[in-house]
Structure 1
Amino acid sequence: MNFGGQTPTIVVLKEGTDTSQGRGQIISNINACLAIQDTIRTTLGPLGSDILMVDGEKTTISNDGATILKLLDVVHPAASILVDISRAQDAEVGDGTTSVAILAAEFLRETKPLVEENISTHVIAKSMRTACRLAVNRVKEIAVHLDRSNPEEFKDLLKKCAATAMSSKLVHRNSDFFTEMVVNAVLCLDSADPDENMIGIKKVSGGGIEDSLLVKGVAFKKAFSYAGFEQQPKHFKNPKIVCLNVELELKAEKDNAEVRVDEVTEYQAIVDAEWKIIHDKLVAIEQSGANIVLSKLPIGDLATQFFADRNIFCAGRIPSDDLDRVVKAVGGSIQSTCSDIKPEHLGTCESFEEKQIGADRYNLFEGCPEAKTCTLILRGGAEQFIAEVERSLHDAIMIVKRTMRESNIVAGGGACEMELSKYLREYSRTIAGKPQMIVNAYAKALEVIPRQLCDNAGFDATDLLSRLRMLHSKGEIWAGIDFDSESVGNNLDRYVWEPALVKINALQSATDAACLILSVDETVKSQEAQQQGPPPGGMPGMARGRGRGMPM
């Protein structure tokens, strides 16, 4: 068919579909990431600010990068990548969630002029990955290995790492109190593979922040109780503990069967049979020698009074995670029947006590022989304050856990970033062409961490960074920002320590995110998605990478 020499228009997308492509789209994506950076950059460091976020009636006050980005509900497809890397950093190492997002955005800021000069984004990404590999190798080269031969000294070193993680948190004024608590909590876990999920955290409103306590065992809020509960003993020494997944109520038998009767006497026989079934269960538990009976399912008033008459403590409707931690702490196993409870199925501990904490009563199991779990009970005035304390302690717990496993640390306060920047600048002078500019831009971007620390603290960033460059050029690899003297100093000697893994993971994640964003030069959004708004879980449509499809 002859179209008069003109190429016909072929429609492959739905009418009204918005398409954006080319270098303008890359610049737009970079600007979106810079907007995210501007939002969270003021929270970095020990003198950073907190952000108040309001979602309906719920308010959150935090300076934790992952928490802030999650609550911001970012819908821009490129900017949401920064949210993902911040969450990944939180899951992997627990700290550095703000730093990783700031670094990724700064890498994009420094490469933006290169994109505008029509340098291929593939060349930029390749050189950035080279710079990242060199930086990671340099971190591993300069990292200091902690000596674990002396347990007491190693514990003190762990406290230094925890104190650094808390220095930028709401609890930094109480860091001495909480570092002791955090390190003791992690040391309660299995040293071969510490699992932070085995540290239970309970929040009790009221009291002062230093009324918080560490229970080397398990503590949980008193479960729903029936008549007769107050007659039970509330304190035991070396008790025998049985954990059940059994319902001890009359209605359990009544509701699970249908019986037809011809005479009234037969009905009485059924009632007696029901009583006999539950009575046999209770007698079997009593004969097992257990002093404490815990169950995931309800323990009714009949069973409660039965146990009270025999000086046995019982608690039903225990949350599953709490009961699992009880079993791991006291030993034994969870039983699904009462008919064959043997001595090896029972656990024990040095002491059990029901204790009033604030307005609530808690069951405390302490001195557990299998003590690979513990519980932090946090106190404070406002619920938002306690929630931020919990987030702060989570970061510190993760840092101590990683330090125990890796034992390699670097100095914080911008010292590590300045050393990497100086190292990459020197390397860039040994190569020619476009990679030299890109590696140099990468090195300059690393200085955003110490610069932002100075800006948030109100220091003269230009003056302090110039002095840091001079010190690092003389070989002082641990020179960083000293917040106490508002100057610079050796942060390794001042015990401003961070696990090397935090820096390595942040560099790799930030570089990968920056390269991913640079590789996208077209975004396609369907008209329907634009009208309805983004579906749960992200932005509609598709983003196309240069040379390959890449869903966002």
Structure 2
Amino acid sequence: MSYGGQTPTVVVLKEGTDTSQGRGQILSNIDACLAIQDTLKPTLGPFGSDVLIVDGGKTTISNDGATILRLLDVIHPAAKILVDVSRSQDAEVGDGTTSVTLLAAEFLKEARQFVEEGMSSSVIVKAYRSACRLACGRVRELQIELKRKSNDTKDDAEFRELLKKCAKTTMASKLIQSNSDFFADMVVEAVQCLDQDELDENLIGMKKIAGGSLEESRLVKGVAFKKTFSYAGFEQQPKKLSNPKILCLNVELELKAEKDNAEVRINKVNEYQAIVDAEWKLILQKLEAIVATGAQIVLSKLPIGDLATQYFADRGIFCAGRIPADDMERTVSAVGGSVQSTCSELTSNDLGNCGSFEEIQIGSERYNLFEGCPKAKTCTFILRGGAEQVIAEVDRSLHDAIMIVKRAIQNNYIVAGGGAIEMELSKYLRDLSRQIDGKQQLIVAAYARALEVIPRQLCENAGLDGTELINKLRSLHSQGETWYGLDFGHESVANNMDTFVWEPSLTKINALQSATEAAALVLSVDETIKSEPNHNSIGNQPVPPPAGRGRGVPQGMPPTQMQMS
């Protein structure tokens, strides 16, 4: 059908929709990712600087890539891919969040020249994935197994020392670098407290108390939590117990005024007294049932009021109410027993126990400590420091170290850090690319060049001559010196396997795979459709004004009422 010889205009997308496509869109997305790289570059390595982020008045100082990207509130859709990659690296491995972001952006930077020359992005993606597969295969060939004398890491002193070296390598780029010996020992001990089959890092608690020095931090092999809100009679309760039996509840032990809960209509005074007596009888029955179990410590997620507090104090029992759910969960996993939601039919099997309980003063806070737990599948760090921002950064640093030690136990293969493995992979892929025909040769060679961004940026952040040291490393790796990397102590290069700069091979493999997939995802997008949300419409229909809210009509008043008045 013709319309006067003119082709009719077909409107598919609603008005205000922004569409961008083609080569220019790919280049724009690459530029956005490079902007993220420029932000994170200075934070890499042991001499990386920290970033100060102020968000709504809250100040954060960190050099952790995942933390920085989470707080930056990135809005560019392509750049958000790098944020997601960094988070996945943090969740899966714990360390290498900055490295994976720099690698992904560098892969895109190397691909830019090919896109500008008109090469199809699918060709680049195919070559990148092939190079990644070869690089990961090479890491698996080179990785070295940490030898164990037994499956129980607690009894293997030599393996424990190897784990400490992995933890110290992770801390080398953190705020706690100068205290790495002190914290590395604590981190390995904390991981060994966990169930060695599961190694659930969520069972490691972190408590922060401002004041004191970093080395006043301590590890409690058990549970520690801040003293909860206390009622009258709390001062008379014991503050130190040996081998106590512990009852964990999800029961409220507090008298409630009936006017808060229900409306009660009575005709006689003695009827009201009967209601009050019944309420007292119910709570006293609960308290008597608890005491009959022989428990010396009573913990509850819900409030324990002044009547119950005084009742327990008179009988030499310690109690604490309003305990946070995560602290209660870790307490039960450490002391045994189970959380009871009723006080009827309590038995001794419902009780847990620990070697010692004590309430102590730490800084300006009082803490309850449960140590010597028979089922100590949990532990708690009590972190000290001069400022809250410092303690928060110590928390993030210890999380990375804990994850690395955990991965080293689960997958006990390591490679040398300090840029050594990246230089070896770069040399390997460069040599391999010369045997490939066609466009793939150039792209694999570009992938190899991109891997050098890690040692080059490490040099730049340390104030060293990157060009000289990178050339020296290229020469050594071409001669078969596989583990040579940067040695910041002597501002030169060294065999980092011999100097104990170790990282789990899983960290490098995961970083390569994640960075390559992120780069492939950005390169495969050549069209962006951005639809502006219409807040004043439902679907495509405008929202009518509410009835009775016209001019001169008070809000919420029906029109009929206005007319009648």
Query: What's the offset of the Cα at 1:398?
Result: 0.5
Instruction: State the AA in 2 paired with 1:180.
Output: D
1:75 corresponding residue in structure 2: 75
Instruction: State the AA in 2 paired with 1:116.
Output: E
Q: 1:531/1:520 Cα in 2 relative to 1: closer, same or farther (>3 Å)? A: farther
Instruction: State the AA in 1 paired with 2:176.
Output: V
Aligned partner of residue 363 in structure 1, secondary structure: strand
Q: Give ranges in structure 2 of 5+ residues lacking alignment.
A: 151-155, 538-565
The CA deviation string for residues 513-543 of structure 1, in whole angstroms up to 9 with x for no partner, is 00000001111122447999xxxxxxxxxxx
2:53 corresponding residue in structure 1: 53
Matched, 1:505 2:497: no
Distance 2:321 2:260 in 1: 19
Query: What's the offset of the Cα at 1:56?
Result: 2.3
Query: What's the offset of the Cα at 1:16?
Result: 3.2
Matched, 1:211 2:202: no
Query: What's the offset of the Cα at 1:253?
Result: 7.3
Q: 1:172-211 counterparts in 2 under 5 A? A: 172-211=177-216
Distance 1:403 1:530 in 2: 51
Query: What's the offset of the Cα at 1:259?
Result: 4.4
Query: What's the offset of the Cα at 1:427?
Result: 1.0
1:420 corresponding residue in structure 2: 425
Query: What's the offset of the Cα at 1:109?
Result: 0.5
TM-score of the superposition, structure 2-length normalised? 0.92
Count of aligned residue pairs for this structure pair? 532
Aligned partner of residue 95 in structure 2, secondary structure: coil
Distance 1:160 1:153 in 2: 11
Matched, 1:439 2:439: no
Q: 1:70-469 counterparts in 2 under 5 A? A: 70-149=70-149, 151-251=156-256, 255-256=260-261, 259-469=264-474
Between 40-49 and 332-341, report the one with greater CA deviation: 332-341
Instruction: State the AA in 1 paired with 2:389.
Output: Q
Distance 1:111 1:171 in 2: 37
Distance 2:361 2:88 in 1: 39
Q: Give ranges in structure 1 of 5+ residues lacking alignment.
A: 533-552
Aligned partner of residue 251 in structure 1, secondary structure: coil
Distance 1:3 1:453 in 2: 66
Distance 2:49 2:68 in 1: 12
2:65 corresponding residue in structure 1: 65
Structure number with greater Rg is 2
Instruction: State the AA in 1 paired with 2:376.
Output: A
Is the 1:189–1:372 contact (alpha carbons within 8 Å) kept by the matching residues of 2?
yes
Query: What's the offset of the Cα at 1:267?
Result: 1.9
Matched, 1:39 2:44: no
Instruction: State the AA in 2 paired with 1:11.
Output: V
1:516 corresponding residue in structure 2: 521
Aligned partner of residue 9 in structure 1, secondary structure: coil
Instruction: State the AA in 2 paired with 1:215.
Output: V
1:545 corresponding residue in structure 2: none
Instruction: State the AA in 2 paired with 1:292.
Output: I
2:483 corresponding residue in structure 1: 478
Query: What's the offset of the Cα at 1:193?
Result: 1.1
Identity of aligned residues (%): 71
Query: What's the offset of the Cα at 1:10?
Result: 2.3
Distance 1:31 1:242 in 2: 59
Is the 1:410–1:492 contact (alpha carbons within 8 Å) kept by the matching residues of 2?
yes
Query: What's the offset of the Cα at 1:381?
Result: 1.1
CA RMSD, 1 decimal? 1.6
Distance 1:338 1:148 in 2: 48
Aligned partner of residue 319 in structure 2, secondary structure: strand
Distance 2:15 2:222 in 1: 63
Distance 1:181 1:5 in 2: 82
Aligned partner of residue 454 in structure 1, secondary structure: helix
Between 44-53 and 251-260, report the one with greater CA deviation: 251-260
Instruction: State the AA in 1 paired with 2:204.
Output: I
Is the 1:53–1:71 contact (alpha carbons within 8 Å) kept by the matching residues of 2?
yes
Query: What's the offset of the Cα at 1:257?
Result: 5.4
Distance 1:16 1:196 in 2: 48
Distance 1:388 1:88 in 2: 20
Query: What's the offset of the Cα at 1:383?
Result: 0.6
Is the 1:165–1:396 contact (alpha carbons within 8 Å) kept by the matching residues of 2?
yes
Is the 1:254–1:274 contact (alpha carbons within 8 Å) kept by the matching residues of 2?
no
Q: 1:449/1:208 Cα in 2 relative to 1: closer, same or farther (>3 Å)? A: same
Distance 2:428 2:534 in 1: 47
Distance 1:186 1:354 in 2: 25
